[in-house]
Each structure stands twice: as C-alpha cells, then as structure tokens.
Amino acid sequence: MKRENLNHIINDFFDGITPKKYSNYIRYWLMKDIQVEEKDEAMLQIWNNLHEEDMNVQDALQRFQANRNEYENKIRQRNKRKKILRWAAILILPIISAVLPWLYAEKFFEQKQLVEFYVPEGKIDSLILSDGTKVILNSNSNILYPSSFNAHSGNRDVYLLGEAYFSVAKDTKHPFIVHSGKLNIQVLGTEFSVKAYPNEEQITTTLVKGSVKLYDKSHNEMMSPNEQIVYNRANGQLSKQSVLASECNYWMLHNLSFNNQPLGKILQAIEKQYKVKFDIGRSVETNQRFTMNFTNRETIDDVMKVITKLKNNLEYYKDGQTIKLIQSRKEDTH
C-alpha cells in the first residue's frame, strides 16, 4: 500500500469521517501486530508533517526513545483494559492521532506514561483518574489519560473516542480538557457528558452542572447547565440547544432515552445496547423523528414492538443477531 494512501486512511479514521462499513476493519487492522513497518512509516510521516517549524522532531524522538525501555518493562503488567503506550512511531491505538499534538508539545515526557482504558461492546465501566475525576464510559469507548497528572504541565489532558460522563475534580490552576478529534472541551470542575464515536459524524456535549468551554480553530463557545452542543465533524459547525441533561445520560443505567430523534439515530443506539445489526430496507424512512424511552429490563423484542407500532407499516424479522426492517405496503388503518 502506498504511504500516501495509508496516511489518508489513518487520518480519515481518526477524524471520524471513515465510512461506517469500513471503520471496524480499519480499527482491527490498526490494533493487530501486522504491517508494522508500513504503519511505522505512516505515523512517522504524520509526525514530521505537523508544525515542523515549531518543534525539533529529532530531539523529541530521541527523548521519547529514551523512555522506551521503561514502558516495555511495564507493559507485561497491563490487564485486559489497560495498555501502556510505547514507541510513538508504531503506536496502533485507536486514538493516536488525537495524542500526537500532545507529544509534539513535549508534555508527554512530563507525564511519562499514558494509559488506555477500553470498554467493550455491550458493557459500561468506570474509573477514577489521579486527580479524583470520575469517568463513566459507555459501550465500545476508549479514553487515553496520564497515569498521573503533572503539576507543572498546566492542563489535565485526556483523549476520548466514544461516549463518557465526567465528574471533574475542581482545580482552578489546572483546567481539565477532553480532546476528541478537532474539538476540545475545557472545564475547571463540573459534570458533563461527551459522545464522540469515530464512525459518527457528530460530537455531542451535554452539560449537567458547572460550565464548560468548547473550542477548535474556528469556535470558542461557553455552555451553561442543561445545554447541549452538537459539533459536526464534516463542516466544523456548532449548534446549541436546551435539554434536560439528566435524560441525556440514561445510558449509564443501561437505559435508552430519545427525544425527537430520527429513527436512524435510534437504531444506531439500539445496535450498541443490544449487540444487534440492522439490515434496513430501501423503502424505510430513517429521518422520521420519535420520542421514546426504554429501561434495561426490556428485551430487543420489546423495543422493536414499540418502534414498529409507532412507525406505520414497519415490520421486522430476526435472524440471529441481525434484524431486517422493511416497510410494508399495507394501507394505514389509523
């Protein structure tokens, strides 16, 4: 594979613009110990192309390499959910692109170690960071964070792919920043949630209490409690709306709540929750909006019966973990 093509594939995946049907294949390939040299060259090329005039790459590489033995000695101690980062040029973690700017700024060397915490499909898990911040992660989510925050580095930086709820320990001298793609969410002490799956076009931030600032190269937006901001990865646009924040985080109880959401988004959430795959017929209109709630006690059949009752003439058929949806031609009798 040509290096240029490899660079495009990796960048698109980390920016969340890879077509959904290819995302799982790319994620699997990145995490496997195959084609290491090609991925090595691609990562190094990305490194060298970013802000060359503002950093001494060779010096950074040498300093990074000096810590390599320390990381490799400890890597055997990792459990199923935690992985210690090693040599940057061959990093194959799903959120490496978001981490690279941190490495360039040389904050990585002050932090010494980064830890990846991954929650598999169909699970919810939690952790407490070294500063006391509590994080609850939804299914199929990754968070990358330092084993301990450095008191002299200024910020408390973490990197997220997926969905998480943060209860941030207050520290006015060290802002807490969640990085997800090109969007940054900065707080001092507050509670909020972020949904930023790489195969979805939007990043959604919902504030429960306190205040947060969202920013990228073009925006600098403040949020108040019970506000939600949706960031479009494709065009970089932000939209703000008022919500009941408590209802936006039902997923922490394994519940599902949808308020005027399009059917397509509802089906995506159901796929994650129930580990199913929808085969949607061409005649099914997925832009129609619905409001509905499901508890963790309801089965997939309970959920589908509600959806097919709300949407006229929609029928479903189960084949193992695949659910086929079709729009019948029956006349509406309501």
- Within the chain, all domains assigned CATH 3.55.50.30 are found at 254-327
- Closest C-alpha to 105, from 51, 26, 41: 51
- pLDDT over 90 at 278, yes or no: yes
Q: What is the pLDDT of residue 41?
A: 64
Quickly count: other Cβ atoms within 10 Å of residue 276's Cβ: 17
What are the backbone angles phi and psi of residue 67, rounded to the nearest 5°? -90, 0
Q: Is 182 helix (H, G, I), strand (E, B) or coil?
A: coil
Looking at domain 3-248, its CATH class is: mainly beta
- Give the model's confidence band at 310: pLDDT under 50 very low, under 70 low, under 90 confident, else very high: confident
- ∠ CA 205-170-131, nearest 5°, is 95
The domain over range 254-327 is classified in CATH as 3.55.50.30 = yes
- Within the chain, all domains assigned CATH 2.60.120.1440 are found at 3-248
The pLDDT tens digits of the residues spanning 90-144 come to 344 444 444 444 444 444 444 446 788 888 877 889 999 999 999 999 888 889 8
Q: What is the pLDDT of residue 22?
A: 63
Tell me the pLDDT of the chain averaged across its residues: 74
204, 228 Cβ separation under 8 angstroms: yes
CA distance linking residue 297 with residue 192, whole number of Å: 26
- pLDDT over 60 at 187, yes or no: yes
Q: How far is CA 128 from CA 71, 132, 168, 226, in A?
A: 22, 6, 10, 24
The pLDDT tens digits of the residues spanning 52-68 come to 433 444 444 444 444 44
Q: What is the pLDDT of residue 101?
A: 45
